[in-house]
Amino acid sequence: MEIVVLAEPSHTPSTALVARRTVLIASLAGAATVAEWGFFTDRGSAVAFARLDTKPLFSSTVGFSSLSTRELAFNHRDVVAGTRSLAQSVVRDELVSRERRWLEALAPWTRSGPHAELIQAAYLDLFVLSVGLPAPVAGWSPSWRYVWPRDTAHIAVAFAQAGNVPGALECLRFLARVPRTEQGWFRARYTLDGHSTPDNRPDQFDGLGWVAWALREVSERVDWSAAGVTRSDFLAEFAPLIAGICDDMTSAVVAARGTAPVSPDYWEKREKTLTLGTIAPTLAGLTALIPLLDDLGDATRSRAAALAAEQVTASILRDFAPNGYPRYAGGDAVDAAVAFLLPPYVWDFPDEAGVRSALTRAWEVLGQPAGGITPGQGWEPDGVSWTPETAVFALVDATSPDSATRARARKTVEWLGANRTLSGSYPEKLLADGSPSAVAPLAWTAACVALAAYELR
């Protein structure tokens, strides 16, 4: 057995090669067909990996080459430092000035405090993935150049919190006009024209919950006195969407006999059993609908949403709570979706203490060598830290009143910031050695980093 010790290196955001956790990599010689690797974390648990992912970084960031044209930047020298503007653009100065004006128009909290630089980077990622488009895309690499309802919901909330009301409204308007299934479900993702979906990924019930959640969060986070539009106008514009989502969600809960329907969730794979990744956003959406419907004076739908929320809560407590909120009803595999049962997603859950405890266990079980988490125990055992799930954990930790939990959130936000690409963008993944991997920037990660940093002010 050969033991290689990877010491915790010194690091800065510019290196983007960070291992927050000291790990031991054990290579077992003489394996029959596949060499097994074991990572032993500082908590003492051993996690075996059949292989280590070596997927490269698709791009260092995305940059504007003109006021309306974006390009993937493969080297950090391709962009002006601290911007999303290509250095060789003939209108470089105009592009940089536009970015600065956009950032300066955001709420003051985005430019102050110990995390100001990380926040500005997050909003620059959202800027380059949204400005001039019908809706924000998840990323600019070809397979990510689409609109996911889940990602867009988070971006809308991040824009609202930063005072970018037009950006938040554009997100919601796109989601209001895209076609849904006969059951009212959102597609997994949409093309930018909003008319179709690019492939045959199965439809996802959780999209309804995410959009309902975003509607409520935007309505509460916007400073309507300075928005140029009133909250009453907002509610009136989105009343048909609110009512339609309520009807589709409550009908589905009735059809499923008091729970959420079996559906793919954020893992985007077909399921035969109800997942926490579906039922938690369902509860988040139903509870978000109630005050919106009350404000609209729709008492009938408000009562229907409240009844469905009660039934879904009972289902979660019955089918998921006894085993520590696992991925599947009645199962035991840990899943990152446990975070979706906590604020700012679900408020006042009856067993919030139990969910917080399950979240701490998830940190331990799902932790990866570079310092982030994997989506769940059933995910590919390849040593990869996924930044969106890690950022979601930071966000829900940041909402906790417990000082130790908030300290964990702060450490996670700083870890995400330290593990950006050399261009300063948030990547989708980090390999076992801390190298950024796959897509950069990724909008969902950027939105959650911004929201977590806001909660940590």
Q: Among candidates 356, 369, 336, which has minimal Cα distance to 42? A: 369
The pLDDT profile of the chain, 457 residues, written as one tens digit per residue, is 222 222 222 233 333 333 322 232 232 222 222 223 333 333 333 355 657 888 899 999 999 999 999 999 999 999 999 999 999 999 999 999 999 999 999 999 999 999 999 999 999 999 999 999 999 999 999 999 999 999 999 999 999 999 999 999 999 999 999 999 999 999 999 999 999 999 989 999 999 999 999 999 999 999 999 999 999 999 999 999 999 999 999 999 999 999 999 999 999 999 999 999 999 999 999 999 999 999 999 999 999 999 999 999 999 999 999 999 999 999 999 999 999 999 999 999 999 999 999 999 999 999 999 999 999 998 989 999 999 999 999 999 999 999 999 999 999 999 999 999 999 999 999 999 999 999 999 999 999 999 999 999 9
The residue assigned the tokens 């139903």 is 286
Q: Is residue 109 helix, strand or coil?
A: helix
Question: Is the distance from CB of 301 to CB of 290 less than 8 angstroms?
Answer: no
Which residues touch 308 (CB under 8 Å, ≥6 apart)?
249, 250, 253, 254, 286
Q: Among candidates 82, 170, 173, 176, which has minimal Cα distance to 131? A: 170
Question: Is the distance from CB of 217 to CB of 160 less than 8 angstroms?
Answer: yes
As a whole number of angstroms, the distance between CA 109 and CA 200 comes to 41
Does the reported pTM lie above 0.85?
A: yes
Task: Tell me the angle at which helices 387-398 and 403-418 cross, rounded to the nearest 10 degrees.
Answer: 150
Q: Among candidates 80, 109, 77, which has minimal Cα distance to 97? A: 80
As a whole number of angstroms, the distance between CA 385 and CA 406 comes to 21
Question: Is the distance from CB of 328 to CB of 275 less than 8 angstroms?
Answer: yes
Q: In what order do the strands lie in the sheet with 46-49?
A: 2-6, 23-27, 37-40, 46-49
Assigned token pair, 241 = 């969407």
Q: Is residue 428 helix, strand or coil?
A: coil
Question: Is the distance from CB of 83 to CB of 62 less than 8 angstroms?
Answer: no
Q: Is residue 258 helix, strand or coil?
A: coil
Question: Is the distance from CB of 211 to CB of 186 less than 8 angstroms?
Answer: yes
Residue type (1 letter), 273: T
